Amino acid sequence: MSLYSEHLKTVMRRFDEALEHTGFDSVLIFSGQPQVAFLDDNSYPYRVNPLFKYWLPITESPKSYIFYRKGETPKLFLFQARDFWHTQPQLPPGEWQELFDIQLIDTIQPVRSALSGALSQTAFLGEAFDGLSEWGLAEVNPTSLINYVHFQRSLKTEYEVSCLRKANVLAAQGHNAAKLAFDNKASELEIHHAYLGAIQCHETQLPYNSIVALNQNGAVLHYDVYETKAPAEHLSFLIDAGALHDGYCADITRTYSASAEGFYAELVQAVDEAEQAIIGDIEVGRSYYDLHVDMHRKIAGLLAQFGFFKISAEAIFERGYTRAFFPHGLGHFIGLQVHDVAGHLKNAQGESFAPDAQHPFLRLRQTIQAGQVFTIEPGLYVVDQLLEEFEGNEDFNWQRIAELRPYGGVRIEDSVHVTSEGTVENLTRDAFASLK
């Protein structure tokens, strides 16, 4: 049996459990549709409902539906518009076509008609649209059902991991092309175009807006301006960019120094080593939160080692100074979404971890389990806004901090898979290695 067919069996079993737990007989999942901009006739880029692509590798067919009732073959109402203005979406080949009862539609009426006797006990999952309230559905986007499915989605099937591997290889190709463009003194926009060219896609086919930051721009955590002119001098390059394979996401960050020597090149190497060291500490049963806190201890060590403070690493950590240099979380679940779901869920019943005052931006609080895939992405930056409250603090070596400011900062990010044996597979580093 193929990885995909096994995956579909798992999805069906998980929905069976979710439906039984929440009291619904069936579920109707809408793929979504393009949204038209205000006072315009142009649509925003379409993004498929992640719960739709959880069932099958279709990401470019808006206005389609999946209907599933326990014990039955899932039904796919596949929308194909009668439209001579636009190109019809190209459906991916594969055995999914044999595992669904497929009906082609060009309006929504056949869906409502075919399911009229079932809708009163059906949960709808997806974005609402005009007229949906008249369908007589049991409930639209019930939180209990969504939480149940999301919690189970945190454990990936072998099919999902295989898609994530392929997405990482694709993204690694783009990263290699971007690094070459940086070495050739390109502008941020030119580097961005080199990335897109290498993976043969346009911007709307990326899982998120790429971060392509030269020099001080690397300190902006979600920088996506893309300067059109190259700087007078290339000092540093931080790129956070991904790719998609059959709806599954890669999310990779690398940082480079233009010079092979000097304190910044050494800092990049040190952060890279610290990132690999924390990956080596991953083990089943450990709290991801504890891993995040341990990363702050490592960052404190780097801040002391490179002279950014006049106090010890332990004092840096205890006084909370690391949060000004490493303000984001260590990582997040990844899969059908870049920031995949259930990071804060304790269980399938929807209990959540309380927000943490010291680390409010950490997206993952679960205990590490076999089958999870998540990112590890420590960083160290000069973010002036975060340093304002410490102005004049003599614990800080402000001269050394000023030396880092023109470089922005450093971030290294890999996606890792905790295998069924409890070992750690680094999807990202394996992807780069496969291209050598």
H-helix or E-strand spanning residue 38: none
- Phi, psi dihedrals of residue 158, rounded to the nearest 5°: -65, -35
| Separation of alpha carbons 56 and 72, rounded Å | 16
CB 341 within 8 A of CB 333: yes
Residue 189's CB is within 10 A of a number of other CB atoms, namely 15
For the chain, how long is the longest CA-to-CA vector? 73
**Residue 112, amino acid:** R
CB 252 within 8 A of CB 175: yes
| Separation of alpha carbons 267 and 414, rounded Å | 18
| Separation of alpha carbons 39 and 41, rounded Å | 7
Q: Is 377 annotated as a binding residue?
A: yes
| Separation of alpha carbons 167 and 335, rounded Å | 10
Q: Is 413 annotated as a binding residue?
A: yes
Bridging pattern class, strands 75-79 and 236-245 = unpaired
Q: Is 83 annotated as a binding residue?
A: no
Residue 403's CB is within 10 A of a number of other CB atoms, namely 17
Dihedral, CA atoms, 387, 388, 393, 398, nearest 10 degrees?
A: 60
What residues contact residue 84 under an 8 Å CB cut-off, 6+ apart? none
| Separation of alpha carbons 248 and 168, rounded Å | 10
Annotated binding site: 240, 251, 332, 377, 413
Annotated binding site for Mn(2+): 240, 251, 332, 377, 413
